[in-house]
Amino acid sequence: MTQSPSKPQAQLLSHPTSTNISTRDLIYTDWTLIEPELDPAKLRARETVFTIGNGYLGTRGSFEEGYPDALPATLVHGMYDDVPGVYTELANCPDWLSLTIVINGERFRLDRGEILQYERQLDLQHGILSRSIRWRSPIGNTVDLRFDRFTSLSDHQVLGLRCQITPIDFSGTIEIQSTINGYPDNQGFDHWEQLNRGKMGQAIWLQIRTRSSQIELGMAAKMTAVGTDAITQVTNPLDYPTLRTTFIATAGQTVGVEKVVTLFTSQDVKLPVQAAQAKLASLPSYPILLDAHQQAWKEFWQASDIEIEGDSTAQLAVRYNLFQLLIGACSHIMGECTDNSRVSVPAKTLSGLGYRGHVFWDTEIFILPFFTLTQPSLARSLLTYRYHTLDGARRKAANSGYQGAMFAWESAATGDEMTPRWSILNDPYAEATRIWCRDREIHISSDIAYAVWQYWQVTGDDIWLRDYGAEIILDTAIFWMSRVEWNAKHERYELCGVIGADEYHEQVNNNAYTNRLVQWHLEKAIAVYEWLQHTFPDRANELAQRLKITPERLQHIHEIIAQIYIPNDADIGPIEQFDGFFQLKDINLSDYEPRDRSIQAVLGMDETNQRQVLKQPDVLMLLYLMRDTPEFPGDVLQKNWDYYAPRTDSTYGSSLCPAIHAILASHLGKTADAYRDFMQAATVDLEDTRGNTADGIHAASAGGVWQAVVFGFAGIQLKDSGPVATPHLPPTWTRLKFKLSWRGTWHSFDLSPSFAQAADIQGFIFDVDGVLTDTAEFHYRAWQRLADEEGLPFNRQANEALRGVSRRESLLHIVGDRQYSEAALGEMMARKNRYYVESIQTITPKNLFPGAIELLQELRQAGIKIAIGSASKNARTVIEKLGIGNLIDAIADGDSVALPKPAPDLFLFAAKQIGLDPDRCVVVEDATVGIEAAIAGGMLSIGIGPATRVGAANIVRPNLIGVHLIDIQAQLKLAPAKTIQPTV
């Protein structure tokens, strides 16, 4: 999208027993995301990352006790309100988390005192966010605190929070105050009128209303002491109804509270405050609520989970994205006023204030396929939102001078256009920028029709298509009839002045994506209308009268289908993205690396508009959407990939890009590219790679991640008989399991690598010199100095024979026939080593070869064991100086074994140190004797250097630049076995 410039005892959490993968400063397990320490600089981004929700509302991962510069937010679906004269946005609702904890007179705050231990966990399997802290107060009192929270998936208007506190080295008074903050704001703007507040028994309640949309919200809360008897008082200062519980706790005693909140709006019921009060009074205990919540999550995962074996990082990242999709989708709410089909998934879900909670094409093209194929009832609800906003689309079409329904680029409650006409500026002297996407990025109407058709094909839901979907497809088709232009000179229909899926070029003519999708849309409009006439003639007649579908209009649609211009020269080259694209100045994006912003930000909007550079796939997006048609065979995809992929700003242009590239690269057999792009999409928020996670989750990217797994790596095609898999899994993936719903029947897929026997690589053993760094020069200088002192002939050419050879064997090679006593040889070896050790003190991480650190980090993240197998007795020192000790599990050096290479002993010792059988290890070597040692030990090998030296290896590479685990896996599966013939 084009972003508007405005766009029991409390204990410390224990790590799960499953494999832990550390990625940067987060820890991944199969089901749990762990933050092991607090970094205030990442506060707001992590508030987004640790968002929880239930599809009715979302609550950011802000701290219960607060923190400076935090951005707490709870967003409820459909709770839109106006900022007068500026825009419409989701209103931030009252903060239900707020706790004030006072320990012996000192307020607990993480920006004060000392954090001794910290850990935050998001349990994706059960939808629970937990935080555990050991904190020492400014005056020296030490306390353990644990917080758990959930937003009930079984009862969407119920929220739960538990706080447990254990004094460690003192006894004293602990006071916990709980409030409902009646003055939430949207970055300074207050959307709420205060109506009333009060208490009822041991509970509090709040009644407020949005200023413009007049949506009323009611909340009620109660707090129960646990661990010991305590007195709870209810107060009502100003607009902060407050619950206060005081404990007298002794060292080692755990005390705490359980807080339960209910929330209703006038969108759900007529009297939200009374509903919240009644619900709160009827609720069972906190443990029962929590158990029901966990059971609901179990049912969700049974239908929608994806299981990946062999890649813990990908497993957690995929589940995390699915979790965020579900908690951002509209839930099934039972209420007298409720119609959950009147809301949809905002571009930032309910996790942040980015894009003001507006709905884009992201939902239909990127997010909806996940729900259509795993949660079809939710998909139906999301699509019905578009039906309910048809009137807004009609108003936009009429206002723009067209007929039919023209969907808004940014939509909220009514379907009217929410995109600002001009950028909103903070600088009073800057010039405002016209935001053209509101007027020109009109492909969204066909994107929605595409989603409607796909939903019908997958579910067979004829009734929904009759009552809702057909009208969407038909009325938007009428819009296209009025929007196309006849070019008399070329005798064809055209679409001029549009913005395609690539948003770097504004007001172009005949965008291939738009034109072909419009043609497809009109074809389906005819098909749907004919189906209605045959199956539901009364409905067909009703729509014909209301939408003025006459025989003349139907004939006109056929003419447009036949004569609309589709810029397709696929037989001779790539499809031109729009008229004149190939005449624009070309670009080599690598010329602008490294960079930390989009190419548009580097070049400026005007210059970018004149270049062959894309924000996100356009022609490639078209080929993806049309992938199951015979229109674009594989060679067409290859031609267009080769042309457009290098010209797409996939790193900083749009988060919508990497997942689509991953799918297409997978189809083309580009394994490394596919996996790289897939992981870029999967971790965009977890690692905040674009620097804007604080604004909210990248929902479209999350949906794209699911599509990359299912349509990319699993190769799912949607045939008339159902989904069919043609898998091309990343080589590290030993298993991929998921389920898809097709016309009321569940299809289970349990996929494994396509090769009969996957290469089960579990460990890598690296030589140091010539592989990770160049210590050969230091060795050479030390030997040369020794040779000069002893008057021995020696030069660089002679040094080549010493590659991979032990120190003693090297010395014997240098002295040749000259006779030395054993003591003299020992002294010479010690002298050479002294010279070498002196010289390697200057080694730094900058001495690592290009590609080395990237491969080591990739192996570590994949759970691969890493060892060093070096004949050098100084290998440990070199590893320390290179700064990679944290990535190495074991070091086998010249002191580890008696026999040097080509004997396999050194590598066998390294394999034993990392607990692996030799046939599960790969040796990376640059010396002939090293490759021979690997083969003799029954290990696979990668030779670094010329084939004349390391040609006996399974794989030969000039260096480690661009080497990826998945490519190594694939090549080793196909590589012939290597053997060493015995010496006679």
Q: DSSP string covering 440-466, please?
A: H-TTHHHHHHHHHHHHHHHH--HHHII
On the question of pLDDT at 499 being above 50, the answer is: yes
Average pLDDT over residues 118-139: 97
pLDDT on residue 968: 84
What's 730's DSSP letter?
A: -
Q: Does a structural domain hold residue 537?
A: no
Please give the structure tokens belonging to residue 964.
Answer: 């990826």
Return the SS3 of 428.
Answer: coil
Pick the more confident residue, 447 or 788. 447
405 occurs within a structural domain: no
In this prediction, residue 429 carries a pLDDT of 81
Which is more confidently placed, 419 or 5?
419
Domain that holds residue 939: 763-973
Q: What is the pTM of this model?
A: 0.78
Is residue 589 within 8 A of residue 657, CB to CB? The reply is: no
Closest CA to 570 of 630, 611, 614, 523: 630
CB distance 20 to 323 below 8 Å = no
pLDDT at 2: 38
* 301 sits in which H/E element: helix 286-304
Between 731-735, 942-946, 964-968, the lowest mean confidence (pLDDT) is in: 964-968
- 82 labelled ligand-binding: no
Q: Which whole number is the average pLDDT over 869-886?
A: 91
> How far apart, in whole angstroms, are the C-alpha atoms of residue 909 and residue 896?
8
CA distances from 96 to 142, 259, 458 (A): 27, 9, 40
Whether 174 is in a domain gets the answer yes
Is 803 annotated as belonging to a binding site? Answer: yes
677 catalytic? Reply is no
pLDDT at 239: 61
The helix or strand, by DSSP H or E, that contains position 119, with its residue range, turns out to be strand 114-123
Evaluate if residue 118 carries a pLDDT over 90. Answer: yes
pLDDT at 12: 39
Q: Judge whether 807 is annotated as a binding position.
A: yes
Residue 832 covered by a domain: yes
As a whole-number percent, the residues of the chain with pLDDT over 70 amount to 94
Peptide bond between residue 902 and the one before it cis (omega within 30 degrees of 0): yes
Would residue 679 count as lying in a domain? no
User: Given strand 745-751, what is the order of strands in its sheet?
Assistant: 307-309, 735-742, 745-751
Residues 255-263 have a mean pLDDT of 97
Asked if pLDDT for residue 776 goes beyond 80, the answer is: no
* Average predicted confidence (pLDDT) for the chain: 90
Contact 108, 101 (CB under 8 A): yes
> How many Å apart are CA 683 and CA 676, to the nearest integer?
11
At 676-721, the pLDDT tens digits run: 999 999 999 999 999 999 999 999 999 999 999 999 999 998 988 7
- CA-based radius of gyration for the chain: 32
Over residues 248-262, mean pLDDT: 95
Tell me the C-alpha distance between 712 and 723, whole Å: 13
pLDDT, residue 3, reads 38
Q: Answer yes or no: is 365 within a domain.
A: no
The C-alpha atoms of residue 544 and residue 380 are separated, in whole angstroms, by: 24
Check residue 1 and give its pLDDT: 41
Angstrom CA distances, 801 to 27, 384, 796, 810, 813, stand at 45, 74, 9, 8, 8
DSSP structure string for 968-980: HHHHHHHSPP---
Tell me which of 618, 767, 893, 967 is the catalytic residue: 767
Q: What's the CA gap between 234 and 827, in Å, rounded? A: 85
Q: In whole angstroms, how far apart are CA 176 and each of 231, 259, 260, 855?
A: 11, 11, 15, 50
Which residue among 240, 271, 303 closes a domain? 303
**806 has binding-site annotation:** yes
- Mean pLDDT of the 284-297 span: 97
Q: Which residues contact 931 (CB under 8 A, 6 or more apart)?
A: 923, 925, 941, 943, 950, 952, 953
Residue 678 to residue 666: CA distance in whole angstroms: 10
Q: How far is CA 679 from the centre of its chain?
A: 7
Quick check: is 963 in a domain?
yes
Q: Which two tokens stand for residue 724?
A: 């069919």
pLDDT of 516: 97
Quote the pLDDT of residue 16: 35
735, β-bridge pairs: 309
Contact 773, 847 (CB under 8 A): yes
Does 810 show up as a binding residue in the annotation?
yes
Tell which of 278, 303, 328 closes a domain: 303
Q: How far is CA 394 from CA 397, 406, 484, in A?
A: 5, 6, 17
> For residue range 210-253, what is the model confidence (pLDDT) as tens digits?
999 999 999 999 999 998 888 788 887 666 778 999 999 999 99
Tally of structural domains, the chain: 2
Closest CA to 731 of 673, 665, 675: 675
- Cβ atoms of 931 and 952 within 8 Å: the answer is yes
Return the axis-axis angle of helices 822-840 and 875-882, rounded to nearest 10°. Answer: 0
* Residue 403: closest CA among 448, 359, 445, 360: 445
Q: Say if residues 626 and 516 touch (Cβ distance below 8 Å).
A: yes
For 157-172, letters b (16+ CB in 10 Å) and e give: bbbbbbbbbbbeebeb
Higher pLDDT, 94 or 423: 94
Residue-wise pLDDT for 72-108, tens only, equals 999 999 999 999 878 899 999 999 999 999 999 999 9
- Mean pLDDT across the stretch 3-8? 35
Q: What is the CATH number of the domain that holds 120?
A: 2.70.98.40
The angle, 0 to 180 degrees and rounded to 10, between the axes of the packed helices 822-840 and 776-790 is 140
5 token code pair: 């410039």
Res. 976 pLDDT band, cuts 50 70 90: low
832 is in an annotated binding site: yes
Q: How far apart are alpha carbons 754 and 727 in whole angstroms?
A: 7
CB distance 249 to 255 below 8 Å: yes
- In this predicted structure, the answer to whether residue 338 has a pLDDT above a threshold of 70 is no
Q: Which of these, 498, 494, 492, 471, lies nearest to 400 by C-alpha position?
A: 498
Q: Nearest to residue 52, comparing CAs of 146, 3, 124?
A: 124
**8 A C-beta contact, residue 918 and residue 911:** yes
- Is there a contact between 199 and 241 (Cβ–Cβ < 8 Å)? yes
The residue with greater pLDDT, 233 or 620, is 620
Looking at 201-329, which runs of residues are DSSP E strands? 203-210, 216-226, 231-235, 242-249, 255-265, 307-309
Nearest-angstrom CA–CA distance, 643 and 658: 16
Q: Is 926 annotated as a binding residue?
A: yes
Contact 848, 882 (CB under 8 A): yes
Q: Residue 15: how many CB atoms within 10 A of its CB?
A: 13
767 labeled part of a ligand binding site: yes
Catalytic residue chosen out of the listed positions 362, 447, 461, 769 = 769
Average pLDDT over residues 330-341: 56
Question: Residue 802's domain is classified under what CATH number?
Answer: 3.40.50.1000
- The answer to whether position 883 is within a domain reads yes
More confident residue, 825 or 22: 825
Q: Mean of the pLDDT values across residues 104-122?
A: 97
User: What confidence score (pLDDT) does residue 543 get?
Assistant: 98
Distance of CA 743 to the CA centre of its chain: 29
Angle at 808 between CA 802 and CA 813, to 5 degrees: 50
Is 873 annotated as contributing to ligand binding?
yes
767 a catalytic residue? yes
- Alpha-carbon distance of 384 to 364, in angstroms, equals 12
Instruction: Write the CA distances from 46 to 96, 635, 975, integer angstroms.
Output: 19, 43, 44
Kindly state the average pLDDT of the residues 618-643.
90
Q: In the structure, what pLDDT confidence band is assigned to residue 423 with cuts at 50, 70 and 90?
A: confident
